Amino acid sequence: MASVWRYILAGLGLAALLAGILAAVYLTLPQSAVGPDTSRSKKTQNGLFVASFEPERGVVRQGDLQSWVLTLKTAAGAPVEGAAIAVSGGMPQHDHGLPTSPQATDYLGDGRYRIDGIKFTMSGWWQLHFSISAAAGSDSVAFNIVL
Amino acid sequence: MRRLAGVAGLLALAALIVLGGCGKPEFSDAEKKTIASLALNTLPSLKPDTTNQYADLPAAAALGSTLFFDVGMSRDGTVSCSTCHKIDRQFQDDLPQAVGVGRTNRRTMPLAGVARNPWFFWDGRRDSLWAQALTPLENPLEQAGNRAAFAHYIKKRFGERYERIFGPLPDLSSVPANASPLGSDADKAAWNAMPAGQQDDVNRVYANIGKAIAAFERSIEPGQTRFDRFAIDLATGSKPEGDAAFSPEEILGLKLFIGKANCVTCHNGPRFTDNSFHNTGVPPVEGLPLDRGRVDAVAQVQADPFNCLGKFRDGDESACRELRFMVKDGVQIMRAYKTPSLRGAADRAPYMHAGQFTTLDEVVAHYSKAPLAVEGVSEVHPLDLSDRERAALVAFLKTLSD
């Protein structure tokens, strides 16, 4: 009788040890979540333009209405002027759109367009999508911003 | 064999103690960062309101305070702002729907930190604190007055105080006793018969009433709570003492709030609100008029002559970006309502835009169950929280009131 209990105790002990080791390994592993591509400069979908997207005042702040600058260059590096830009976006993981309707409000020269009215109301993965029409043709690009 | 079992048992016990107890910190670094972002000490100082040049003028705030508590500011002399925004009740009234001259269809909102809102009312149908203050004055179910009568009343009762702040009152001698573009047919007819210049004069006095009330309301700010004391201690690494110490249940609730229960997604920042509008599947109240929230407020704020783009704004148009860049349509604003601050919420049942839920337990149960919206799409997904988890969330919410 006593020996049966001993085996059970040993079994439980070993199982607990194993669980402990696994937990230790799991808890100390770096979080290897693969995030979306957050590069601030990229080729547009069909390669017509090179687009860069940066906050106008350098910092991204949650909850503030902000302006960003979208810079458009041709593949050869020439600034794209007179582009019509439509902005949309949202949070892909929350299945909802943007809390504001950002617009391209000003042309700042040298292929730079002010995109005003951007607001990130929560932390997480945001996506901004631009449809661009210019003399060279129409193309689109999406930027991911993770707060 | 006996020795092996003994050694294994001891080792396992040691591993469990290390991992389960002493070795594991109470909050991860990410959790600590989120908790710090909710603490009241991260609330920035109140920004100037450039659309209201009187916003930080003490004399304007003093007149606004008088007007806020004055039942003379209503059609029948029985209702003031403070009838629903009760000073000793967090400036709300504990009722499912506010009662002024009549019964409204919405819950009175508390006022702590109200001057920090980009949008006003549950649906954001006004875009400044001063434009908000004007709306109940003429709502037939709230103060039920009309702007011509208010202009006359101000001249008669507070003429000198008004003029010291806003300059000379216009000549009101030929302005009808009762007139407004809103209100009764008689009020509207009287308003339409007024020359445009006279309408402007009355509108200007009316806008200034709102600006004075707003100047007063800017002083109403949230106060420190147990949660803030706990959060500051956590951030500075000191051990929370006395009432700043959280019970295990409150800690679990806080972890759920910023983690699995996703509350912090919308209830973020030191005011516990993202200042935005969401459909969370809150059911309508039977017997009340159709209420679709934000989707119907867009046209109202656009049409408001006292909005930021209107001529009664002080300062320049750069202050109007919220209005300019607001979302005007789409399914996401159908039955969407403003995220309320949770500070003090435990002491002000009932909850939601029409007082749908009587207790915080019901609120948490709603978000755990996440029923479909009657119209539009709820952004909330089922959480299936246990009884213990729901109780822990409520326990945590109470720390925002103590």
| Chain B, nearest residue to A125 by Cα | B265
Q: Are residues B73 and B33 in the same domain?
A: no
- Per-residue pLDDT tens digits for B346-376: 999 999 999 999 999 999 999 999 999 999 9
CB contact under 8 A, A102 and B325: yes
Q: Are residues A25 and A52 in the same domain?
A: no
Which range is least confidently modeled, A30-39, B194-203, B239-248, B271-280?
A30-39
Count of CB atoms situated within 10 Å of the CB of B140: 16
Q: Are residues B177 and B235 in the same domain?
A: no
pLDDT band at B278 (very low <50, low <70, confident <90, very high): very high
The interface predicted TM-score of the complex, written ipTM, equals 0.87
8 A C-beta contact, residue B7 and residue A9 = no
Q: What is the pLDDT of residue A94?
A: 82
CB contact under 8 A, A100 and B9: no
Q: What's the domain count of chain B?
A: 2
Q: What is the pLDDT of residue B25?
A: 72
- Per-residue pLDDT tens digits for B53-70: 999 999 999 999 999 999
CATH number at residue B363: 1.10.760.10
Phi and psi for A140 in degrees, rounded to 5?
-140, 160
Interface test with B, best of A29, A31, A96 (most B CBs within 10 A): A96
Q: Are residues B205 and B228 in the same domain?
A: no
Q: Please name the member of B15, B321, B324 whose beta carbon is closest to the beta carbon of A20.
A: B15
Give the end of a domain, one of B191, B217, B243.
B217
Phi and psi for B108 in degrees, rounded to 5?
-65, 135
CA B317/CA B321 separation, integer angstroms: 8
Q: Are residues B35 and B159 in the same domain?
A: no
| Chain A, nearest residue to B325 by Cα | A101
Phi and psi for B258 in degrees, rounded to 5?
-95, 0
Q: What is the pLDDT of residue B154?
A: 98
Give the end of a domain, one of B197, B217, B237.
B217
Share of chain B above pLDDT 70, in %: 94
CB contact under 8 A, A97 and B275: no
CA B80/CA B142 separation, integer angstroms: 9
pLDDT band at B19 (very low <50, low <70, confident <90, very high): very low
Q: Are residues A45 and A68 in the same domain?
A: yes
Which range is least confidently modeled, A29-33, B211-215, B256-260?
A29-33
CB contact under 8 A, B379 and A27: no
Closest CA of chain A from B16, distance in Å? 6
Q: Are residues B64 and B111 in the same domain?
A: yes
Q: Are residues B146 and B204 in the same domain?
A: yes
**Measured in whole angstroms, how far is the alpha carbon of residue B200 from the centre of its chain?**
31
On whether residue B226 sits in a domain, the answer given is: yes
CATH number at residue A117: 2.60.40.1940
pLDDT at A30 over 90: no
Three-state secondary-structure class, residue B326: strand
On whether residue B38 sits in a domain, the answer given is: yes
Q: What is the pLDDT of residue B7?
A: 55
Phi and psi for B51 in degrees, rounded to 5?
-80, -10
Among chain B, residues having any CB pair with chain A shorter than 8 Å are 1-2, 4-5, 8-13, 15-16, 18-19, 24, 118, 265-266, 268-269, 274-277, 321-322, 324-328, 330, 332, 379
Tell me the sheet residues that pair with B336: B293
Q: Are residues B118 and B229 in the same domain?
A: no
Q: Which domain holds residue A110?
A: 41-146
CB contact under 8 A, B321 and A65: yes
CA B317/CA B325 separation, integer angstroms: 13
CB contact under 8 A, A65 and B322: yes
- Entry pTM: 0.89
On whether residue B299 sits in a domain, the answer given is: no
Confirm or reject contact between A20 and chain B (CB < 8 A).
Answer: yes
User: Which residues numbered 38-77 in A keep a CB inside 8 Å of some CB on B?
Assistant: 62-63, 65
Q: Please name the member of B10, B16, B328 whose beta carbon is closest to the beta carbon of A101.
A: B328
8 A C-beta contact, residue A130 and residue A141 = yes
On whether residue B317 sits in a domain, the answer given is: no
On whether residue B308 sits in a domain, the answer given is: no
Both structure tokens of B63: 């007149």
Interface test with B, best of A121, A123, A128, A146 (most B CBs within 10 A): A121
What is the Rg, in whole angstroms, of the alpha carbon atoms belonging to chain B? 25
In the chain, the amino acid numbered B249 is: E
CB contact under 8 A, A9 and B5: yes
What DSSP string describes A55-87?
A: ETTS---TTS-EEEEEEEEETTSPBP-S-EEEE
Confirm or reject contact between A94 and chain B (CB < 8 A).
Answer: yes
Q: What is the pLDDT of residue B9?
A: 54
Mean pLDDT over B264-283 rounds to 97
Residue carrying structure tokens 């050869």: A76
What mean pLDDT, rounded, does chain B reach?
A: 95
CA B260/CA B265 separation, integer angstroms: 11
pLDDT at B23 over 50: no
- Per-residue pLDDT tens digits for A87-131: 999 999 887 899 999 999 999 999 999 999 999 999 999 999 999
Q: Are residues A81 and A137 in the same domain?
A: yes
Q: Are residues B70 and B97 in the same domain?
A: yes
Q: Which domain holds residue B276?
A: 28-43+222-293+334-398
In the chain, the amino acid numbered B104 is: T
pLDDT band at B200 (very low <50, low <70, confident <90, very high): very high
Q: Are residues A67 and A134 in the same domain?
A: yes
On whether residue B245 sits in a domain, the answer given is: yes
CB contact under 8 A, B332 and A96: yes
Q: Are residues A28 and A47 in the same domain?
A: no
8 A C-beta contact, residue A35 and residue A146 = yes
Q: What is the pLDDT of residue A96?
A: 84
- Per-residue pLDDT tens digits for B305-337: 999 999 999 999 999 999 999 999 999 999 999
Count of CB atoms situated within 10 Å of the CB of B244: 18
Q: Among B136, B145, B128, B125, which residue's Cα sits nearest to residue B310?
A: B128
Both structure tokens of B375: 């119209």
Give the end of a domain, one of B185, B217, B249.
B217
Q: What is the pLDDT of residue A84?
A: 98
On whether residue B320 sits in a domain, the answer given is: no
Q: Are residues A137 and A80 in the same domain?
A: yes
- Per-residue pLDDT tens digits for A31-61: 445 679 999 999 999 999 999 999 999 999 8
Mean pLDDT over A80-87 rounds to 98
Segment holding A51, helix H or strand E:
strand A49-55
Q: What's the domain count of chain A?
A: 2
